[in-house]
Structure 1
Amino acid sequence: MRKILISACLLGKKVRYDGGALSVDDQIVEQWRSEGRIVSVCPEVEAGMSIPRPPAEIFKGSGKGVLNGEVDVIENDGGKVTNEFLAGASIALNLCRKFDIDIAVLAEFSPSCGSTAIYDGSFSGKKVPGMGVTAALLREHGVHVFSQYEIAQANTALLATSS
């Protein structure tokens, strides 16, 4: 049975920077849970970051730029957390390899997990097209990344690859 990687916050785990969750109430996710398909991850927490923690954004770039060493992930107090975000992305990739996962549902807008849009690094709430660090690394390695707004599409992809 094919497994799927899902952001822990989407599953109701209180792992977000503010100590909250971003729970999705979705019948498909509940089906995946009952079938034992879900592998849960919070890249920041897996990398040792605290709950709560200062908000972080990618400064003037996206996850691909972080992977290439061109830009940093910074906290709103100026702290640089690029290495933690890279470590978390690597842990998520290792989970995909361990469980032969090629589909992930990650939290949109996150500097780790955003798959189509992230915050712009100004801490003003402005969103820009781009991927977070984990989403970019997973995509580089052939994992199909979806957001919590694309669960039906993720399920279609999962069923198309299931044996």
Structure 2
Amino acid sequence: MRVLVSACLLGRNCKYSGGNNRSERVLAFLKDKEIVPVCPEVEAGLPVPRPPVEIRNGRVIRRDGTDMDHIYRRGVERVLARMGKVDLAILKSGSPTCGVHDIYDGTFSGKKIKGSGVLAEALMKAGVPVVDEKGTLGGPVGPEGS
């Protein structure tokens, strides 16, 4: 099984704040799988750390109002171009690129709304099964689910 994974979940320090979202649960699930680590933001050429962004009216926007949509979507295009065939994607919940079920609401207030990040949306449109690190969408990550 070939699995595309948000690199931050693997412990890579590529998160906007400079840290990571290492998930032992995801790492355990991936033990016998071929892993395709991705960070669309880094693939777009953005630095680590970088200013936070949220999706507002379908566009990726920085807190200061700068429209970053084209840059983030370029990162998504690069991921899609290099990923090859994958059987599953495990992405970081809440992220403006990787959020599967929910994203921040675009007000930078910490409030989440139903929605998907730009990479999650593109993968779903491409027919790739997508779950977040909690395993939501098709059950828990692991033998009993996805």
TM superposition score normalised by structure 1: 0.80
Q: Which has the higher strand share?
A: 2
Query: Identity percentage over the alignment?
Result: 39
Counterpart among 61, 76, 89 of residue 89 in structure 1: 76
In the comparison of the two structures, how many residue pairs are matched? 143
Quote the residue 1:14 is aligned against. Answer: 13
Matches within 5 A, 1:1-163: 2-26=1-25, 29-30=27-28, 32-33=30-31, 35-60=32-57, 71-96=58-83, 98=84, 100-150=85-135, 153-156=140-143
- Give the conservation status (yes or no) of the 8 Å contact 2:29–2:141: no
Post-superposition offset of 1:155: 3.9
- Give the conservation status (yes or no) of the 8 Å contact 2:7–2:14: yes
Provide, for residues 87-134 of structure 1, a one-character-per-residue CA deviation record: whole Å limited to 9, x for no partner.
1211222233x2x10310000000000000000000000100000000
Structure 2: gaps spanning 5 or more residues: none
| Structure 1 residue ranges (4+ consecutive) displaced by more than 6 angstroms after TM superposition | none
Structure 1: gaps spanning 5 or more residues: 61-70, 159-163
Cα RMSD, aligned residues only: 1.8
Post-superposition offset of 1:135: 0.2
Q: Which has the higher helix share?
A: 1
The higher relative CO (CA closer than 8 Å, separation ≥ 6) is in: 1
2:116 is paired with a residue whose SS is coil
Using the alignment, how far apart are the partners of 2:45 and 2:39 within structure 1?
A: 10
